[in-house]
């Protein structure tokens, strides 16, 4: 199955070639942000996009199966042009922007810096100007951090800093790498193995953190990374579904991310890593993987697939679907995984009981909680991460319940006037206090929540052949309509709301008029079942 990694990566190359400005006479030669250089609908280039240069460098230098791009000179030229445009489009201090001007986004910096430094080494470049640029970026990274707890960004910062050390030889950046790696590990739940992503565990971003730390371990040989990585793989193992799909809305950031290279690197140290990747590879034939194929995000995993092929571990273990039956309650992230004879289920109680259910054939149930429209026109939901939720667990009866407050759903959109005001802030106070502006945006779109006065309780009962979900609204709520979504989300996450089979296969369920009227009058209860199958 190893060659499936390459087949998948090669299928994206035409799209990546379309994204880059290939004209050496153009002022944006090497820019991978097509929205900036071609459509001209953006007023600044996205620094993250320059990570795409690594795909070109890998395909130029390595003779993968069916890789017709091997040793094509333009592949090399465009990889170098991508590095040079990263230099040209950066600020004087080496930082770059992602979503707004003068953002100085650490995420965009570390993603693109790792890719550029990796491509630089693959191509065997020796360029003092480029090396000085990497040094400048490393210096910025050493002096600045970002707001919020995003473990995957810190892991990637460690990897990027180590690559800068390898290129420049400056041991300061090796120290930065070690510092950021240890910061990442300090955000790991030591009992369960997951890393903090804003308000909890996100299995999708968790694979990113595994990937970046495993790459760092491969390069540095730092033994302090091994045990935490094995623990992290153990956690991820519970979120590889029997059909080969992974993750979903039950994570703190709603992602289906899956980075396989880190698991290949960990496969010699835990058989669960290879089991996870084999399930992913088998699922490709029936398209169970997630697709995040817009122009901005599509390259994140392309080079990772190629690297997974490079480091494929040949000794493969038993199929992951030979897992014994279990009910695994993880109190640290308040998430339960259940492997029964007739289904596999994951539910996040801290997130209001968001649940997804699978068999080897695919997703058979997905319930992301209540969503309702009030008479006021506002929308309330039960699926936000909330530490104030009260969770109760009865392992003996496999019954799990959560009580909390329905929260108002954020749906902020831009407008010409708002954009003018935002750009004015970007160009004035924002350019001097980018972290403060980022913090405000995070509060507005991600971590902030406005709870309503209306309570809810969800009870999930796992039986042998079915799962029963009961939602209770203990008091009257002035709703116009109410549903149980199958893929509803309410926070801004760039890598969420993607395609994966479950989001279109499982329909939303809508409350009937009698139930709506009952809830309006005195509150009510709504019970549904998800029936398992071989």
Structural domain boundaries enclosing 310: 3-322
Q: Are residues 297 and 346 in the same domain?
A: no
Conformational region of residue 48, where left means phi above 0, alpha means psi within -120 to 50, and beta covers everything else: alpha
Tokens of 157: 């910062």
From 293, 322, 351, give the residue that closes a domain.
322
Residue 495: per-residue pLDDT: 85
Residue 286: CB partners within 8 Å, gap ≥ 6?
Answer: 243, 244, 362
Residue 136: per-residue pLDDT: 98
Q: Are residues 252 and 339 in the same domain?
A: no
Residue 191: per-residue pLDDT: 97
Percentage of the chain exceeding pLDDT 90: 87
- Is the distance from CB of 60 to CB of 75 less than 8 angstroms? yes
pLDDT in tens, 466-497: 999 999 999 999 999 999 999 999 988 888 98
Q: Is 421 contained in some domain?
A: no
CA geometry: angle 132, 135, 137, nearest 5 deg: 115
Q: Is 425 contained in some domain?
A: no
Residue 310: per-residue pLDDT: 98
Q: How many domains does the chain have?
A: 2
Residue 534: per-residue pLDDT: 55
Q: Is 419 contained in some domain?
A: no
Q: Are residues 283 and 370 in the same domain?
A: no
Q: Are residues 275 and 224 in the same domain?
A: yes
For residue 520, pLDDT over 70 is answered with: yes
Residue 428: per-residue pLDDT: 87
Q: Is 431 contained in some domain?
A: no
Q: Are residues 65 and 135 in the same domain?
A: yes
Instruction: Give strand pairing partners of 468.
Output: 461, 529
Q: Are residues 92 and 169 in the same domain?
A: yes
Q: Domain of 275: which CATH number?
A: 1.50.10.100
Q: Is the pTM of this model over 0.75?
A: yes
Q: Is 285 contained in some domain?
A: yes
From 322, 351, 385, give the residue that closes a domain.
322
Residue 436: per-residue pLDDT: 82
pLDDT band, residue 336 (cuts 50/70/90): very high
Q: Are residues 311 and 345 in the same domain?
A: no
Q: What is the mean pLDDT of residues 188-214?
A: 97
For residue 212, pLDDT over 80 is answered with: yes
For residue 63, pLDDT over 90 is answered with: yes
Residue 335: per-residue pLDDT: 98
Q: What is the mean pLDDT of residues 288-313?
A: 94
Residue 418: per-residue pLDDT: 86
For residue 154, pLDDT over 60 is answered with: yes
Q: Are residues 307 and 372 in the same domain?
A: no
Strands (E), 160-305: 196-197, 200-201
From 322, 352, 381, give the residue that closes a domain.
322
Report the distance separating Cα 492 and Cα 519, nearest Å.
29
Q: Are residues 226 and 318 in the same domain?
A: yes
pLDDT in tens, 259-281: 999 999 999 999 999 999 999 99
pLDDT band, residue 445 (cuts 50/70/90): low
């Amino acid at each position: 199955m190893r060659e499936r990694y390459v087949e998948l990566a090669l299928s994206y190359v035409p799209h990546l070639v379309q994204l880059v400005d290939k004209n050496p006479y153009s002022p944006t030669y090497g820019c991978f942000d097509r929205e900036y250089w071609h459509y001209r609908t953006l007023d600044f280039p996205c620094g993250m996009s320059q990570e795409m240069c690594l795909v070109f460098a890998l395909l130029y230098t390595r003779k993968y199966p069916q890789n017709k791009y091997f040793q094509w000179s333009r592949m090399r030229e465009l990889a170098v042009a991508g590095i040079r445009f990263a230099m040209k489009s950066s600020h004087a201090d080496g930082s770059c922007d992602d979503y707004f001007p003068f953002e100085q986004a650490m995420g965009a910096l570390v993603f693109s810096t790792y890719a550029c430094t990796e491509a630089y080494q693959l191509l065997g470049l020796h360029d003092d100007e480029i090396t000085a640029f990497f040094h400048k970026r490393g210096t910025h990274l050493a002096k600045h951090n970002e707001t919020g707890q995003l473990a995957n960004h810190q892991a990637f910062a460690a990897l990027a800093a180590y690559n800068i050390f390898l290129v420049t030889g400056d041991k300061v950046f090796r120290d930065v790498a070690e510092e950021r790696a240890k910061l990442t590990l300090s955000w790991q739940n030591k009992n369960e193995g997951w890393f903090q992503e804003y308000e909890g565990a996100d299995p999708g971003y968790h694979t990113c953190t595994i990937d970046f730390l495993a790459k760092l371990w491969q390069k540095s040989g730092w033994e302090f990374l091994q045990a935490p990585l094995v623990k992290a793989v153990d956690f991820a193992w519970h979120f590889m579904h029997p059909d080969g799909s992974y993750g979903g809305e039950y994570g703190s950031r709603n992602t289906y991310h899956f980075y396989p290279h880190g698991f290949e690197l960990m496969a010699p140290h835990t058989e669960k890593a290879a089991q996870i990747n084999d399930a992913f590879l088998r699922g490709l034939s029936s398209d169970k993987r997630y697709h995040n194929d817009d122009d901005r995000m599509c390259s994140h995993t392309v080079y990772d697939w190629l690297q997974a092929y490079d480091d494929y571990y040949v000794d493969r273990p038993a199929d992951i679907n030979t897992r014994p039956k279990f009910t695994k309650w993880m109190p640290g992230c308040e998430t339960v995984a259940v492997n029964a004879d007739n289904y596999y289920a994951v539910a996040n109680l801290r997130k209001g009981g968001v649940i997804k259910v699978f068999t080897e054939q695919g997703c058979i149930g997905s319930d992301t909680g209540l969503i309702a429209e009030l008479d006021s026109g506002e929308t309330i939901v039960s699926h936000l991460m909330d530490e104030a939720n009260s969770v109760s667990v009865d392992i003996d009866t496999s019954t799990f319940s959560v009580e909390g407050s329905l929260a108002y759903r954020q749906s902020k959109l831009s407008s010409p006037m708002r954009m003018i005001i935002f750009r004015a802030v970007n160009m004035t106070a924002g350019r001097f206090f980018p972290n403060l502006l980022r913090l405000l945006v995070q509060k507005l779109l991600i971590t902030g929540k406005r709870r309503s006065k209306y309570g809810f309780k969800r009870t999930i009962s796992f039986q042998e052949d079915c799962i029963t979900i009961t939602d209770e609204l203990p008091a009257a709520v002035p709703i116009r309509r109410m549903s149980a979504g199958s893929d509803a989300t309410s926070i801004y996450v760039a890598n969420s709301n993607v395609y994966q089979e479950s989001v279109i296969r499982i329909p939303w369920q809508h409350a009937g008029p009698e139930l709506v009227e009952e809830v309006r009058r005195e509150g009510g209860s709504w019970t549904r079942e998800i029936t398992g199958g071989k």
